[in-house]
């Protein structure tokens, strides 16, 4: 399969994975609101049967509905921002904001594996001119790879740092590697090359998997164009260290 086709297919799969997982979360919020509204109806029915209305209980339910509505609104905002990362192949990105959104979007991926997350972001703002969708895809792939490499319940670390010429993102697990997804691992360099960056695979002190993404301040000119408008054939530059 050509790299262009692979990038397109993997991109679509990533988009599908995030929207499927997040729509499941939104459905859960809707289910809770539906049950809380139903509980109010139940209590009204009890009151209609001659029992005094339990006003405090109604107030409590109203607060609980408000909490779920806020939770749902936040989810929809994040999902909407994520969908809009596909609008432009290149834009100026605040890396901390992008990663905070991605961490929220990938919560289900972590809870499925009962993973805890530790993050470290720099105090200074790191702005990159890059492809926001592909960047999120790269970091998400790293999270998937690290989580799949070991057992459940592990600690996942995500570190964003400034480095000469751009930014560095480290995604690392603390537990020893049990298995690695070679197919997914071999796609990462292709994705990073598209961003003008590279990926390094490092073993942590206790044998865990650590993936380090180096991303330049600005993407290569050719990658800034939509895939269909590029010069052909596409030539890989082999920057990856994997």
Partner 1 sequence: MAPLRVLLIDDEEELVVTLAERMMLRGIEVEGVTSGADAIGRVQLVKFDVVVLDMKMPGIGGLEVMKRIRREQPGIKFILMTGRGSLEEGEEGMQEGAFAYLLKPINIEDLMKKMMEAIGV
Q: How far apart, in whole angstroms, are the C-alpha atoms of residue 235 and residue 219?
A: 16
Min dist CB 52 to partner 1, Å, is 15
Distances (CA, A) of 218 to 128, 138, 167, 202, 203: 6, 16, 10, 25, 28
- Rounded least distance, CB 223 to partner 1, Å: 33
Applying CB under 8 A, does 68 fall inside the site for partner 1?
A: yes
Indicate the burial class of 51 (C-beta count within 10 angstroms; 0-12, 13-18, 19 or more).
exposed
Q: Which two tokens stand for residue 100?
A: 């905070």
Of positions 6, 12, 13, 31, contacts partner 1 by CB under 8 A: 31
Nearest Cα to Cα of residue 110 among 21, 211, 16, 13: 21
Task: Pick from 4, 10, 17, 32 the residue near partner 1 by CB under 8 A.
Answer: 32
Binding mask 89-128 for partner 1 (x = CB under 8 A): -------------------x--xxxx--------------
Among 35, 88, 118, 222, binds partner 1 (CB under 8 A): 35
Closest separation between CB of residue 62 and partner 1, Å? 13
CB of 236: closest distance to partner 1 in angstroms?
Answer: 36
Q: Is 180 in the site for partner 1 (CB under 8 A)?
A: no
Question: Nearest Cα to 172, choosing from 118, 222, 128, 121?
Answer: 118
Question: What is the full DSSP assignment across 30-65?
Answer: HHHHHHHHHHHHHHHHHHHTTPPP-HHHHHHHHHHH
- Nearest to partner 1 of 125, 153 (CB atom): 153
- Contact call for residue 23 and partner 1 (CB under 8 A): yes
Interacting residues with partner 1 (CB under 8 A):
20, 23-24, 27-28, 30-32, 34-36, 38-39, 42-43, 46, 64, 67-68, 108, 111-114, 152
């Amino acid at each position: 399969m050509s790299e262009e086709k692979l990038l397109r297919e993997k991109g679509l799969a990533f988009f599908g994975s995030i929207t499927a997982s997040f729509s499941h979360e939104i459905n859960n919020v809707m289910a809770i609101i539906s049950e809380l509204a139903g509980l109010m109806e139940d209590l009204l029915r009890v009151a209609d049967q001659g029992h005094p209305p339990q006003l405090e209980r109604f107030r409590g339910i109203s607060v609980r509905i408000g909490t779920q509505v806020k939770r749902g609104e936040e989810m929809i905002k994040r999902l909407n921002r994520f969908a809009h990362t596909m609008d432009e192949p290149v834009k100026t990105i605040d890396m901390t904001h992008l990663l905070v959104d991605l961490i929220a979007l990938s919560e289900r991926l972590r809870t499925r594996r009962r993973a805890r997350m530790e993050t470290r972001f720099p105090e200074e703002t790191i702005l990159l001119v890059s492809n926001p969708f592909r960047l999120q895809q790269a970091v998400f792939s790293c999270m998937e790879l690290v989580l799949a490499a070991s057992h459940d319940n592990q600690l996942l670390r995500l570190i964003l740092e400034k480095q000469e010429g751009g930014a560095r993102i480290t995604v690392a697990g603390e537990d020893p590697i049990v298995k690695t997804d070679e197919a997914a691992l071999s796609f990462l360099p292709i994705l990073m090359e598209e961003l003008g960056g590279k990926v390094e695979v490092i073993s942590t002190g206790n044998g865990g998997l650590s993936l380090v993404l180096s991303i330049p301040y600005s993407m290569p000119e050719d990658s800034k164009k939509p895939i269909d408008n590029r010069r052909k054939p596409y030539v890989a530059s082999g920057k990856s260290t994997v």
